Amino acid sequence: MRISNELSDEIILTELGGRLAQRRIARQLSQAALAAEAGVAKRTVERVEAGESVQLVTLVRLCRVLDLMDGLDQWLPETGPSPMALLKEKQAGKGRQRASSQRTAPVMKSGGRSWTWGDSSS
């Protein structure tokens, strides 16, 4: 079964519990052995596998013993900096810059002599 938004919380918990049970069995661990390695009660493992709600720390402990931590990293991957944070970082490295450098008056030639803006003689 593919887990998606359309499924109820109860169905998702039941599916996750079933997957954890399959992983435990594939690793040839009893519920008691998994519980002992994870530092939780056997009844807690039974509850997880039955799809009951448990504390997040319990799930993390079970995933660690079942070698599923990489899966948790993929489930909630780190996010990179936001575009605004990147822009602020880029701007912090530079000082404020003007759009153009120092302006010079345009030079125009008229009749062989140089003429500049503001020159009143024609």
Q: φ, ψ for residue 113 (rounded to 5)?
A: -110, 155
DSSP letter assigned to residue 111: T
pLDDT at position 77? 78
DSSP annotation string for 22-82:
HHHHHTT--HHHHHHHHTS-HHHHHHHHTT----HHHHHHHHHHTT-HHHHHHHSPPP---
* Cα-to-chain-centroid distance, residue 8: 25
pLDDT at position 41? 97
Q: At residue 119, does pLDDT exceed 70?
A: no
* Cα 93 from Cα 9, distance rounded (Å): 47
Q: At residue 63, does pLDDT exceed 90?
A: yes
Task: Give SS3 for 114.
Answer: strand
Range 18-27 average pLDDT = 96
The residue that leads in pLDDT, 93 or 48, is 48
AA letter at 20: L
Task: Give SS3 for 84.
Answer: helix
Name the CATH topology of 9-75.
434 Repressor (Amino-terminal Domain) (1.10.260)
Which pTM does this prediction carry?
Answer: 0.63
